[in-house]
Amino acid sequence: MPTNFPIRVMLVDDNPRFRAVLRALLERDDAIVVVGEADRGDRIVELAAQHDPHVVLMDLSMPGVDGLEATLALKSHFPGIEVVMLSMSDDQEGIGSVLAGGASAFLNKSTPASEIVDTLKQRSSARRTPARWISADAT
């Protein structure tokens, strides 16, 4: 179901250069807007509430709270937000853990930009609405 508003993406990676490159690549596509960035996973729930993303593009390996822990926290509060995990590794066991932990896709950081954009579009297409996401504990 096509929509006339962009996919709201939040970037979470401890490398500021990588985040800047990702932002530049993603925003070349009119269907995507980067709404926020974080350099660590421990603020993911707060930032998701603030920035209202459809999809979070998250690094698996970060100091402190890693991408898997951050995904678990995010999904417990905002189960409708999709997480696409990025990693330098293609470890099959790690990929399985990430997907079991709530991420909806796993990509290597060397994945071409066009494939990252396509993945974001696929993961968000059924979940984009103009309404804000509802937190699991907001009743």
Rounded CA separation 66/31 (Å): 28
Question: Which amino acid, 76?
Answer: S
The answer on pLDDT for 108 being more than 90 is no
Strand bridging mode 7-12 / 32-38: parallel
Rounded CA separation 22/113 (Å): 8
Selected from 3.40.50.1220, 3.40.50.2300, 3.40.50.300, 3.40.50.620, the CATH number assigned to the domain covering 7-124 reads 3.40.50.2300
Q: What is the pLDDT of residues 3-18, one digit of tens each?
A: 557 899 999 999 999 9
Q: What is the pLDDT of residues 53-83, one digit of tens each?
A: 999 999 998 888 989 999 999 999 999 999 9
